[in-house]
């Protein structure tokens, strides 16, 4: 009887804590995107020239993006400028992505800069097949749960999401989990997107959650063809990675 009362007490306490959880429906999340440029662009068996050149490139490149969201829509776009010195080398095709999502209509409009061209792509929201896993970690003060999916058939994506932030959303075009994605890692792109903080949004910021308008209207296939033409002489490995970045 004592054991039953003990476990009943634990269950009631858990329910009590859960009932006190504040569920968030709108806000601004800052994401830090970090890329290991040495691993992404150098194979490790380069000639002495490339080994010397690699020393001129910082090993890690950090960029910041903001995700403004409410229960109906969101916009992910470039945030504050990094303090890192700009080298002008090896800029990712996804360096200035803007992604608008209409969560009610299940549609997205993305503005993407690919070399000298800016594209405007309208599509339905990405439907990823997520595998939910028991592992958890704390990110930006939220308990997050692990999930896995793939892009481009074989590229593994690791996500951590929290159900304490209601919209099924995340950085870039990712979403579809029971809550907000606060971290994405793509090992084959040597890149992670990690939430650093959550802030409230002002009325002006919330009204600015609107689709981008500039860019050449195109399909994902047409944009991928542009990337392929631009780097077709770089080798298969670099071409594939650029195409993976474009699909984000």
Is a pLDDT exceeding 90 seen at residue 84? no
Range of 17-21, 153-157, 244-248 with top mean pLDDT: 153-157
Structure confidence at residue 93 (pLDDT): 59
Percent of the chain with pLDDT over 70: 80
- Is 213 part of any domain? yes
Determine, yes or no, domain membership for 196. Answer: yes
Number of structural domains the chain divides into: 1
The token pair at 246 is: 């474009």
Q: What is the pLDDT of residue 17?
A: 43
Which of the residue ranges 45-54, 69-78, 237-246 would you say has the lowest mean pLDDT?
45-54
Q: pLDDT band at 171, cuts 50/70/90?
A: very high
- The backbone torsions φ and ψ at residue 161, rounded to the nearest 5 degrees and listed phi first, read -125, 155
pLDDT of residue 86: 62
- Per DSSP, 169 falls in state B
159 falls within a domain: no
Confidence of residue 51 (pLDDT cuts 50, 70, 90): low
Average pLDDT of the segment spanning 201-215:
90
In the chain, what's the furthest Cα-to-Cα distance?
Answer: 76
Q: Is the pLDDT of residue 190 over 80?
A: yes
Average pLDDT over every residue of 49-72: 83
Q: Which domain holds residue 95?
A: 23-128+191-246
- Rounded (10°) CA dihedral 172, 179, 149, 224: -20
Q: Which is it for the CA torsion 138, 142, 145, 146, positive or negative? A: negative
* Close Cβ partners of 100 (under 8 Å, ≥ 6 residues apart): 73, 74, 75, 76, 108, 109, 110, 209, 210, 211, 212
pTM of the shown model: 0.85
**Does 215 map to a domain?**
yes
CA atoms within 13 A on the CB side of 98: 17
pLDDT at residue 136 greater than cutoff 50: yes
DSSP-assigned beta bridge partners for residue 123: 108
- The C-alpha atoms of residue 200 and residue 178 are separated, in whole angstroms, by 21
Q: What pLDDT score was predicted for residue 42?
A: 72
pLDDT tier for residue 11 given thresholds of 50, 70 and 90: very low
pLDDT value of residue 40: 78
Mean pLDDT of the 66-91 span: 83
Tell me the residue length of the chain: 248
Q: How many CB atoms lie within 10 A of CB 186?
A: 21
Q: What letter does residue 70 receive in the DSSP assignment?
A: -
The answer to whether residue 94 is domain-embedded is yes
Residue 228 domain flag: yes
60 falls within a domain? yes
Q: Is residue 138 part of a domain?
A: no
- pLDDT > 90? residue 38: no
Residues 102 and 122: their CA atoms lie apart, in Å, by 11
**pLDDT exceeds 90 at position 174:** yes
Q: What are the b/e assignments for 153-179, b being 16+ CB within 10 Å? A: eebebbbbbbbbbbbbbbbbbbbbbeb
């Amino acid at each position: 009887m004592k054991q039953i009362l003990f476990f009943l007490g634990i269950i009631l306490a858990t329910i009590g804590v859960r009932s006190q959880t504040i569920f968030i429906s709108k806000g601004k999340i800052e994401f830090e995107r970090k890329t290991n440029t040495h691993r992404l662009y150098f194979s490790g068996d380069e000639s002495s020239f490339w080994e010397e050149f690699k020393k001129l490139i910082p090993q890690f490149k950090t960029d910041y993006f903001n995700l403004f969201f409410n229960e109906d829509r969101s916009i992910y776009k470039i945030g504050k400028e990094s303090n890192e010195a700009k080298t002008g080398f090896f800029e990712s095709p996804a360096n200035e992505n803007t992604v608008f999502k209409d969560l009610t209509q299940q549609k997205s409009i993305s503005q993407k800069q690919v070399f000298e061209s800016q594209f405007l792509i309208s599509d339905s929201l990405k439907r990823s097949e997520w595998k939910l896993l028991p592992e958890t970690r704390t990110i930006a003060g939220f308990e997050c749960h692990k999930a896995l999916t793939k892009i481009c058939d074989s590229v593994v994506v690791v996500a951590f999401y929290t159900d304490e932030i209601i919209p099924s959303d995340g950085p870039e075009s990712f979403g579809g989990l029971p809550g907000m994605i606060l971290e994405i890692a793509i090992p084959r792109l040597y890149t992670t997107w990690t939430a650093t903080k959550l802030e409230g949004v002002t009325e002006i910021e919330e009204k600015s959650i609107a689709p981008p308008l500039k860019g050449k209207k195109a399909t994902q296939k047409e944009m991928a063809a542009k990337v392929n033409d631009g780097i077709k002489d770089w080798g298969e490995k670099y071409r594939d990675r650029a195409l993976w970045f474009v699909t984000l």
